[in-house]
Amino acid sequence: MSLAELAEAYDAAVAGQIQPTTGFYRLVNKYYNENLGIDKDGKFAASTDDLSTIFKLTLNGDKVKLAAQGLEIPMMETSAATVGAEEGIEGDIVHTPGTVTAGFDFRGDGEHQYPTYCSMHMASNKTLVGWEPSADASQWYLIPVEEVTYPLNEIDGVFYATMYLPFGVEAGEDAEIFTIEDIQGDYAQLKVFEGTFVPAGTPVIVKSEAKALSLAPSLEDGEAVEGNLLEGTYLELPTPDNAMIFSGTPGEIGFYKNAKDAVPANKAYIVGAAGSNKYIIDFTKLTGINGAKVDFGTAVVYDLQGRRVEKPTKGIFIVNGKKVQLK
């Protein structure tokens, strides 16, 4: 946590704004000055991974839910490491007047052997446990998240990655976004994604001239995308049987079997047919959002003003005499 962020948190507290609103935050522990995140086993713990430290805070009256990487804070009742739950509970925000931090009490409605050990607390081993609310390690700075940087990998001067996020994002105009709609032999057919908003839980391939994307998280999940053969994982996942992971070299970009021992967190993959070892992607052969298949490697393409276009991206084009829309 930088001095500038601490100053911003202090200013917000002085202005009476320490009570958060529904949104995205990073939780920085007051005692250890560490970001809370979630590890590959689904345990909440200190983390330096950017995406795993983004929490969605949802208010319901005076109650709160916290979730990261699709897992929610469960009932806190012991000093054992806290494992995220697909369905957590609503807790309470506990703010001590005159401080710039907040505590979170997740006692729920159940009986507790140690009823005072219900506050989110970072233990000495940097895992999240239930503990008493008065300790500094039970207090958290709330840093709003308005933008996420998503790095891409360079292949022959262009940058690519797969992406799978637990919240919807606005990807902006710098990104070309694709799904996989079909597989034929050793080739995967790309479909151009409609718009620049990627719904929550939607695995996609992204391509850009920039080495990183600036993504704006959204409280709106968006609508599920149908007909997409990509799968994704929020946490690092030992590579499933017949799974193929995005990789490649110039001219051989695609999904490869045994490319890695694990699918990295927030990435997409394909579960292939038994015996298949790769699915190559040709970014010049696309399916537009109107269903038209176009081979841009051989097609003659013009814009609506009649100008020849060598590398069409988003928009409406005249391809071999027919109107095709790409978004």
Higher pLDDT, 94 or 99: 94
Q: To the nearest whole number, what is the mean pLDDT of the chain?
A: 85
Q: How confident is the model at residue 18 (pLDDT cuts 50, 70, 90)?
A: low
How far is 144 from 147, CA to CA, in rounded Å?
9
pTM for the complete prediction? Answer: 0.82
Q: How far is CA 30 from CA 22, 50, 74, 130, in A?
A: 21, 19, 21, 16
Q: How far is CA 97 from CA 134, 168, 231, in A?
A: 13, 34, 46
CA torsion angle 189 313 157 173 (round to 10): -110
Q: What are phi and psi of 13, to 5 degrees?
A: -65, -45
Percent of the chain residues topping a pLDDT of 90: 57
pLDDT digits (tens, 9 = 90+) for 267-293: 999 998 888 899 999 887 766 544 555
pLDDT digits (tens, 9 = 90+) for 119-140: 999 999 999 999 998 899 999 9
Q: How confident is the model at residue 5 (pLDDT cuts 50, 70, 90)?
A: low
Domains defined for the chain, CATH in brackets: 3-144 (2.80.10.50), 148-287 (no CATH)
Tell me the one-letter amino acid at 128.
L
What local confidence, expressed as pLDDT, does residue 16 receive?
Answer: 46
